[in-house]
Structure 1
């Protein structure tokens, strides 16, 4: 790709070429069209923001609304009617509703509750490592990266163990949502099943609460009351869906890149204290959330010298912002000892009032997963280091994750 128009076309169509290497396209866009008008398949006027400073400002700009109910026509065209009932949560709302919902959820989803999960997460990780297939090579994603976060989030929410596989399958169906009628029908059915399941589970928790997050959420109250029934269902879905997919893809991406950069892996293995910083660098370098969820302009706004008209949708390319050379030195290099790599430097978990509430849990799970994996299997390697990685092809460039991760444990 040599011209801006070619870069724009690749970004719009999410071609396999773009999925394999979005960073080259994003670099071209940052230089030539940092606020890029797009014509995505859903037909709504959309603008893509790619530079770090613009992205950081846009993530906390009150003129860019997260209340998709306010953009209902556009919302329905993109996601369909069935999504509305599951999106009555803090991710898809503005102040004052967002403030109320986040306060209520955060009062139950505390740092203490997350840290208390450490021994249990370590046990889950060890159990999964014990069950690795004897036959090699094997795909690390279904063996480790996918089941780990679904077990953790289901345990946190109070979802019974026998329902984990179902939750993973339904979540995967929603994540694969597309624009053809068959994909829309599958998505609608999965969303209806999830709504029904969480409604029943929450009703059971009200009658017989346990030591889990859903029970705590049914009990939280403030001066304005507690979560409504639909807010509870939608919040449960949000925590399960976001907590599973983003962490699963992050673990897969992280393992792939550490195995592809043996010097960086060696540095982490020789100094365990580096793992915390390494996870932050891996989120910056190739995190699992490529673009923030949709916003829409409630008024005309201007970014990067480009006018975004009222009513237009806005996508913020976090992956692009995190590779912006105006913010990060040598941004295309993976460097686990990167100076000044503070946890708030990259935008992998967002910024502002919508900063990811589950970031501490995602960090903890990823740190424990990588530490245990490479301690147990120090000679783990990619099954074919010369093979080109196969990345997910998705209708929205929201998630960034591998389609497979073939490995051998002892090369």
Structure 2
């Protein structure tokens, strides 16, 4: 990341894009269908590109590993418009929220996120939940994760239809949902609204979201009220007994449950699909389970569930590779292109389950800096457990369709998501 210019006369004049220009559209169908390829081409053409998130929201797109890594640690790129001195423009997050059509009575819960805050407020929010996700506590969950995975694999034959069973619906999601909801403290009979809301928000279905968003908010409010009356040692109990206000508590639960279970389930599904498409890597991993930790990091780098981090805003004028990013401009750091950057990864498009991460600090699949993924340790453990247990039971990974025929759904902000993984039993 270049340092900011101190001489305005040496900086190139900023280019003001027009909606009629050929700047990239981040919601364009071709980019959504192939973010790795499209952002990769963008990365090789220029380190900084001016594009559009929506028709009224321009954004600077940063795609190379060193720039993304530096930018995610740079305090000049903030997460909240409130951190930009004199900012009076529209909140860049607003157009996306408007696309969801959330009811007014629950919108406030979705406008508050730890990922959209900056110091010192961010430290207060993260501190309220960090103990629940401490690395030691996550490691203690491994036996429970292994037991859940074994039970789900035992149940697959009974869940099969026509000799096949969907590993997305019957393995990846139930494993992630069960363990993460247990960490948070959501009992089994109260989990349905979370999955329903998650499906609706990922499907960008405003009509259904008007119902499911209200339902999930009320579920969380009810669980927190119960914890205030009867304290528990889970995350809900910690929040109910902590210093966050009611809106912050609800928002925190929504963000953690949704962000953790969905991303983890998609990581597991993507890893299974990657091994199906690369039988040599599947055989190598199956023959040497000690490679699992390295393999999981490679899955996160090669087919992680996030295409980019949440949008940042320039809190002051910043020059990056000659591009003048002005105070208040929106900036998008792209993970999928950074994680395939040939400047930092040898043969970056190759899947290598024994890869020694050759970038200075490995992949950026969990982000970087103060917003580094809170549940990274748990996601690694669940993916290691899921893949290890599945290969032990089904070493040939007999999926019922070719890797090229797996169906994927297009969702903004993520690589195309697997809809199913039919395992032949």
Q: Does 1:186 align with 2:202?
A: no
Q: State the match for 2:413 in structure 1.
A: 397
Cα deviation digits, residues 207-246 of structure 1 (max 9, x gap): 11223221123335xxxxx222222111111110111111
- Where 2:417 maps in the other structure, the secondary structure is coil
Q: State the match for 1:263 in structure 2.
A: 280
Q: Does 1:205 align with 2:232?
A: no
Q: State the match for 1:125 in structure 2.
A: 149
- Where 2:26 maps in the other structure, the secondary structure is helix
Q: State the match for 2:184 in structure 1.
A: 157
Q: State the match for 1:239 in structure 2.
A: 256
Q: State the match for 2:170 in structure 1.
A: 143
Give the 3 Å change call, closer, same or farther, for CA 311–189 of structure 1 in structure 2. Answer: farther
Q: Does 1:176 align with 2:198?
A: no
Give the 3 Å change call, closer, same or farther, for CA 254–39 of structure 1 in structure 2. Answer: same
The separation in 2 between residues aligned to 1:120 and 1:34, in whole angstroms, is 44
Q: State the match for 1:55 in structure 2.
A: 68
1:21 Cα shift?
Answer: 3.1
Alignment length (residue pairs):
390
Q: State the match for 2:423 in structure 1.
A: 407
The separation in 2 between residues aligned to 1:43 and 1:362, in whole angstroms, is 35
Q: State the match for 2:125 in structure 1.
A: 101
Q: Does 1:353 align with 2:377?
A: no
CA contact (8 A) 1:105 1:217 kept: yes
The separation in 2 between residues aligned to 1:9 and 1:319, in whole angstroms, is 19
CA contact (8 A) 1:139 1:407 kept: yes
CA contact (8 A) 2:54 2:95 kept: no
Question: For structure 1, which segment, 82-91 or 105-114, has the greater mean C-alpha deviation from structure 2 after superposition?
Answer: 82-91
Q: Which of 389, 402, 421 pairs up with 1:372? A: 389
Cα deviation digits, residues 254-312 of structure 1 (max 9, x gap): 00001111111111111111000000001001110111111122222222332223222
The separation in 2 between residues aligned to 1:14 and 1:390, in whole angstroms, is 20
CA contact (8 A) 2:276 2:403 kept: no
The separation in 2 between residues aligned to 1:334 and 1:328, in whole angstroms, is 11
Cα deviation digits, residues 16-37 of structure 1 (max 9, x gap): x444433222221111133222
CA contact (8 A) 1:289 1:400 kept: no
Q: State the match for 2:97 in structure 1.
A: 79
CA contact (8 A) 1:86 1:191 kept: no
Name which one, 1 or 2, has greater alpha-carbon Rg: 2
Q: Which of 76, 79, 82 pairs up with 1:66? A: 79
The separation in 2 between residues aligned to 1:281 and 1:212, in whole angstroms, is 31
Q: Which of 11, 16, 26 pairs up with 1:12? A: 26
Cα deviation digits, residues 109-154 of structure 1 (max 9, x gap): 3223222222221111112111213333332211111221111111
- Where 1:381 maps in the other structure, the secondary structure is coil
Structure 2 gaps, min length 5: 1-21, 84-88, 99-103
- Where 2:332 maps in the other structure, the secondary structure is strand
Question: For structure 1, which segment, 308-317 or 17-26, has the greater mean C-alpha deviation from structure 2 after superposition?
Answer: 17-26
Q: State the match for 2:313 in structure 1.
A: 296
1:201 Cα shift?
Answer: 0.7
- Where 2:127 maps in the other structure, the secondary structure is helix
Q: Which of 308, 328, 349 pairs up with 2:325? A: 308
- Where 1:382 maps in the other structure, the secondary structure is coil
The separation in 1 between residues aligned to 2:254 and 2:270, in whole angstroms, is 24
The separation in 2 between residues aligned to 1:119 and 1:277, in whole angstroms, is 20
Question: For structure 1, which segment, 205-214 or 351-360, has the greater mean C-alpha deviation from structure 2 after superposition?
Answer: 205-214
The separation in 2 between residues aligned to 1:343 and 1:337, in whole angstroms, is 17
- RMSD of aligned Cα (Å): 2.2
Give the 3 Å change call, closer, same or farther, for CA 38–365 of structure 1 in structure 2. Answer: same
Q: State the match for 1:335 in structure 2.
A: 352
The separation in 2 between residues aligned to 1:184 and 1:42, in whole angstroms, is 19
The separation in 2 between residues aligned to 1:103 and 1:37, in whole angstroms, is 35
The separation in 2 between residues aligned to 1:158 and 1:122, in whole angstroms, is 19
Structure 1 gaps, min length 5: 1-7, 178-182, 221-225
Q: Does 1:22 align with 2:35?
A: yes
CA contact (8 A) 2:129 2:235 kept: no
CA contact (8 A) 2:410 2:417 kept: no
Provide TM-score, normalisation by structure 1. Answer: 0.88
Give the 3 Å change call, closer, same or farther, for CA 398–304 of structure 1 in structure 2. Answer: farther
Q: Which of 272, 276, 289 pairs up with 2:293? A: 276
